[in-house]
Amino acid sequence: MKQKERLHPVMFAGTGSDVGKSVITSAFCRIFLQDGYHPAPFKSQNMSLNSYATPEGYEIGRAQAVQAESAQIPCHTDMNPVLLKPSCDKICQVILNGKPIGNQNAYEYFKKEGRELLRKEVCAAYDRLQNRYNPIVMEGAGSIAEINLRDVDIVNMTMALHAKANVILVADIDRGGVFASVYGSILLLTEEERKYVRGIIINKFRGDLRLFESGIKMLENLCQIPVIGVIPYYHDIYIDEEDSVTLKIKNQKSDFGKINVAVILLRHLSNFTDFNILERDPRVHLYYTNNTKEIAKANIILIPGSKSVLSDLCDLRKNGVAQSIVQAFHSGATVIGICGGYQMMGQNISDPEQIESDIVHLPGLGLLPICSEIKREKITRQIQFSFLDQQEQCTGYEIHMGTTIPVNKKKIVPLNRLNDGSHDGYFLHSRCFGTYIHGILDNCNIIDYILAPYVRKSEENNPFNFKTFKEEQYNKLANHVRNHVNMEMIYKIMNNLTIENY
C-alpha cells in the first residue's frame, strides 16, 4: 500500500464541557483509518473517574482508550499523559504517564510553580506519538477560552501551539447560545491563538438543517472562520461515554418481560462502562439506582467500582441501600461486585493510612467471607483469564488499590484463574461472587452465565456479541459525521492549504 502523505495534526477544542469533543475525536479516528491513514488520539490532560489499563499496565482516561479502539490501535499513556481522578469536590489523584504521583487539591494543581514539569511531560508524550502515527487527532478540555487559566494551560491552545495543530472549534447548539459561545470563545483568544483556529463544527443539531443556513453565514461573517459541518443529534449510535453525569436518568422506565439488572449508584462510582454491554443486551433492562424500592425489584444487583470505597460504603449504610441489597439477596436476587463493589461485599474494609478518605474501618455487606485493606500501591494491568475454569479465554483489566483475603482461614474459592497462574475474586455460588476485573462483563460467556437463570428458552440461542456491536457503532458514527462535515475542507486544513470562498 502506498504510504499516505503526512497530515498536520487536528485538535477538536470546545466552547465548553460536554459539547461532544470526545465523540467527534473518536469519529475522526475511524474516518482517517477508513481513508487509509494510521491515526492516534491525544489529550494531554483528562479529568475522569472512568479509566482504563494499557497493555503495559499503566492507567489512562477511558475516552482515549475508546478513541484508540476506534483507530484500531493499542492504547498507550502517550495518548493521555495526565489523568486527574477526583476523590472529592476539591481533591484529585494525579496520574502522570500512567502512574499516580499523589493527591492534590485544585489550588495546588493549578499553581504556576511546577507547571513547566507537566508541560514538558505532555509535550514529550505528544512528540513521541507524532513520530509513530499519522495524523494525531487531538482533543481539548472544557472551554478553549478559560482565560484565567491561560498561564497554566497544558491541554488547549498551549498544546495546539506546541503541535502546530489546526484547531476545529466544537459548539453544542442543543444547549442554546451557540452564536455567543462560538464568537465569544474566539474573541477571548489572543491574536496568535486565533491564527490556529481553522474551522467550526456545530454539534447536536435538532430539526431541519435548512433553517440554520443563514446562521452559518452569520457565524462565518462574524468569526471569519468557515463552518465545516453541522452534525445532527443522533439517538441510535452507542459510543462509550466519558462522564457518569447522565446515569441517574438512564433506563429508569421498566421494560416488562426483560431481566431487571440494577447497578448501585455510588457517589464516587468509577468505570461505569463495565455495564455498557448490559445496556445494549436485548434480554436486559438495566438501570442505575440508589432507591431501595427499585433495588428490591431487581433480578440481578451489580455493585460497581468506587474511587472512595469506604466513603461510598458509609453512604450505603446511611441511606438504607446496604440493607436493601442484603435483603434482596436473601429474597433470591443475584449480587455481583466489581473492584470496590467486590470489597464492599466482604466482612470488613480497612484503610489504616486513610489513603482514600478519613474513614479507617467499616463492616462490609457480609455476603462474602473476605476482608479488604486499602493500600498505597495501585495495581494496573490488562489480563487474560478463565472464568470458573471454563476453557474459553477471557480478557479484562485491573485498576485498584488494596488487597483482599479470606477471613478466619477460610479456603479461597476463586472466581477466575489468570494466565500467569494467579487467581482473582471469590465465588460463593452462582448468585453471589465478586472480582477485581473491570471489563469482565464484556465476555459473552460470563454474561450468558449470569443471565442464564433468568433467560427465557426462546432467547437462549441469541447471544449478544459486544465486540462486533462496538465495531458497528464506530463505523456508524464515522459515517454520520462524514456525511455532515466537509471532508474536502478538513483535508485542505490538515494540509495547511488556504481555504477560499467559504
Tell me the catalytic residues.
Answer: 339, 438
Partner residues linked to 394 by β-bridges: 385
User: What's phi and psi for 50, nearest 5 deg?
Assistant: -100, 100
3-state percent helix, strand, coil for the chain, nearest multiple of 5: 35, 30, 35
User: What's phi and psi for 304, nearest 5 deg?
Assistant: -85, 180
**Which candidate, 471, 422, 403, 415, places its Cα nearest to that of 441?**
415
Residue count of the chain, please give it. 502
Q: Cβ contacts of residue 469 below 8 Å, gap of 6+? A: 238, 280
**Which candidate, 153, 64, 51, places its Cα nearest to that of 94?**
51
The three-state secondary structure class of 348 is strand
Q: Cβ contacts of residue 355 below 8 Å, gap of 6+? A: 374, 375, 376, 401
The runs of H, that is alpha helices, within 56-156 are 62-70, 106-109, 115-132
**Which candidate, 405, 437, 424, 401, places its Cα nearest to that of 307?**
401
Distance CA 121, CA 343 (A): 35
